[in-house]
Amino acid sequence: MDERSLHIVIVGHVDHGKSTLVGRLFHDTGSLPAEKMNEIRRACEELGKPFEFAYIMDNFEEERKKGITIDIAHTFFATPKRRYVIIDAPGHKEFLKNMVSGTSQAEAALLLVDISQGIQEQTLRHCFVLSLLGVRQIAVIVNKMDLVGYSKERFDAVSRDAIAALARFNLAPAYIIPISASAGENVAAKSPISSWYEGPTVLEALDSFEPLKVEEKGLRFPVQDVYEVSGKSVPVGRVEAGRLKPGQEVVVYPGKTKTRITCVMKFMEEGMTEAGTGECVGITAEAALKRGDILADTEPAFITSSVRANIFWMVDQDYRLGLPMVFKCATQEAIGRIDKIYKRFDPATEKTEDDLTVIKPAEVAEVEITLDGMVAIDSFSEIPELGRFVLEHAGTPVAGGIII
């Protein structure tokens, strides 16, 4: 089994069967304790209702909220290939803020569509957020096929709509899978009923997705702080991409000076030969370093004082052109202001607004931010940590941004 689990998000309209699908995934992968299954089965019997997979999810959420489920941060199921962590993405309408924090680490998405409902407004919103966040591995799951007698014609029609909807956001589905979550068709096991369908099941599709291999990109080590340890100056930070090794020649951005790493260290770990992505370490280097320096062994995509990005406005107040804010990307900080709004729109309707001097709550805007200093940044889909930023005003984050 792969050591690393894949983070997935399930998006789509709230009533299109997410709970049932999740329940089914847990059940069919045997990721659910027998005790729990019996409990749910009993509850359904008492009600005189058929066994409902949605209860599994409800039950988990309840427990998770109460802290009963042991593995709270990791609601996961596993296939023989690897573990999957489901990132929660609330399905209601005012979702942008939640969705943004929810999908921030998603490596793949299942986009759920109810065959009897088709693509709806909420589904479009979710597609848009997936595109903003650079989630490229998407499987469209067409649910409730049992309601239409596994009709190929109906499936083909919804497939065409789904492809068109995703294309509007420059996305393309890797698979489109007809399923019945409640009956378990094409989730873990291939359905004999939809014999016309030759593609993978949901689990096979998931197993075919690749994790984002940030550790194989060029090194990015943003300096977080500089400590003094036994009389030596020790810059600390987290490796955000690539690998960090003693003896490595690196460039310090945005100033582009060269230096050499002499030592990589952690407390109580002698003789480190390498630190991988995600590790917090201290180093010694030939040059003096400070917070905000980015150590890299490949050149970042942009060394600039002018950032073009998509931002989503998270607070209830409007932004007016020119208001100064703090731009925070990894450990880099600079004062900046939005000098130009190229377009702004409500992500639900995609309707663009004419007044390009203001950004309203819950809107998304493509903007040009001018900073009072240089920063080193990458595009979000390449190196996420250096491709996203937060704008802060008066100590409060007001917007999240993705570098295009």
Partner 1 sequence: MDHLTALENKSIFIIREAYYRFKDIAMLWSVGKDSTTLLWLCRKAFFGKIPFPVIHIDTTYKFPEMYKFRDEYAKKWGLDLIVGRNDGQVEAGMGPGKGTKLDCCNELKTNALKQTIAKHGFKALLLGIRRDEHGIRAKERIFSPRDEQFKWNYEDQPAELWDQYRSTVADDNHCRVHPILHMTEMDIWKYVQRENIPISELYLSKEGKRFRSIGCAPCCNPIDSAASSVDEIVTELETTTTSERAGRAQDKEDAYTMQKLRSLGYM
Partner 2 sequence: MSKVMVLGIDGAPFTLLETYLQKGVLPNLARILKAGHGLSQMDAPVPDVSSTSWASFFTGTNPAEHGIFGFMELKPGTYSMRFPSYEDVRTPAVWEIAGGTSGMRDSGLKAAFAGAFASPAGSVVLNIPQTYPARPMNGVLTAGFVCPDLKKGTYPAAAYDYLSSMGYMSDVDSNKAVEDSAAFFKEVALSLEKRAKAYEHFLEKGGWELFIGVVTETDRVHHFFYDAAFDASHAFNGEFLAVYDRLDRLVGSLYDRFMDLTGGQGKFMTMSDHGFTAIKTEVYLNAWLRENGWLTLDSGKEYYEQVALGSRAFCMDPSRIYLNVRGKYPRGSVDPSQRASVASELKDALKAISGPDGSKVMKEVYLKEDIYRGRLMDEAPDLVCVANDGYDLKGNLKKSEVFGRSAFRGMHTRHDAHCIMPLGMMTSGRLHIEKLAPLILESLAGADTATR
The site for partner 1 (CB under 8 A) is made up of 3-4, 35-36, 39, 65-68, 70-74, 97, 100-101, 104, 224-225, 227, 229, 234, 236, 238, 265-268, 276, 278-280, 282, 291, 314-315, 326, 328, 385, 388-390, 392, 394-397, 400
Least Cα distance to 238 among 288, 296, 280 occurs for 280
The contact pattern for partner 2, residues 11-40, with x = CB under 8 A and - = no contact, is ---xx---x---------------------
Instruction: Give the torsion sign (CA, 104, 109, 110, 114).
Output: positive
State the binding partner of 397 from partner 2, partner 1, none, CB within 5 to 8 A by kind: partner 1
Beta carbons within 8 Å of 337's beta carbon, 6+ residues apart: 321, 322, 323, 324, 325, 369, 370
Least distance between partner 2 and beta carbon 93 (Å): 7
Least distance between partner 1 and beta carbon 74 (Å): 8
Q: Does 279 sit near partner 2 (CB under 8 A)?
A: no
Least distance between partner 1 and beta carbon 191 (Å): 34
State the binding partner of 90 from partner 2, partner 1, none, CB within 5 to 8 A by kind: partner 2
CA dihedral 124, 392, 325, 395 (to 10 degrees): 150
* Residue 32 neighbours by CB distance under 10 Å: 18
CA angle 82, 206, 32 (to 5 degrees): 60
Least distance between partner 1 and beta carbon 317 (Å): 12
Q: Does 351 sit near partner 2 (CB under 8 A)?
A: no
State which of positions 192-251 bind partner 2 (CB under 8 A): none
Beta carbons of 201 and 190 less than 8 angstroms apart? yes
For partner 1, the closer of residues 7 and 27 by Cβ is 7
For partner 2, the closer of residues 92 and 351 by Cβ is 92
Query: Tokens for 283?
Result: 């180093």
* Residue 129 neighbours by CB distance under 10 Å: 25
Q: Does 90 sit near partner 2 (CB under 8 A)?
A: yes
**DSSP of 355-367, one letter per residue?**
-TTEE-TT-EEEE
Backbone dihedral region for residue 19 (phi beyond 0: left; psi -120 to 50: alpha; all else: beta): alpha
Least distance between partner 1 and beta carbon 259 (Å): 21
For partner 2, the closer of residues 94 and 350 by Cβ is 94
Q: Does 47 sit near partner 2 (CB under 8 A)?
A: yes
For partner 2, the closer of residues 32 and 265 by Cβ is 32
Identity of the amino acid at 217: K
For partner 1, the closer of residues 46 and 267 by Cβ is 267
Instruction: Give the torsion sign (CA, 378, 380, 386, 389).
Output: positive
Least distance between partner 2 and beta carbon 359 (Å): 23
Least distance between partner 1 and beta carbon 335 (Å): 13
Least Cα distance to 145 among 111, 114, 190 occurs for 114
Q: Is 69 exposed, middle or buried (0-12, 13-18, 19+ CB in 10 A)?
A: middle
Number of residues counted as binding partner 2 (CB under 8 A): 19
State which of positions 49-68 bind partner 2 (CB under 8 A): 49, 54, 57-58, 61-62, 65-66
Query: Tokens for 73?
Result: 């941060």
Point out which residues bind partner 2 (CB under 8 A).
Answer: 14-15, 19, 43, 46-47, 49, 54, 57-58, 61-62, 65-66, 90-94
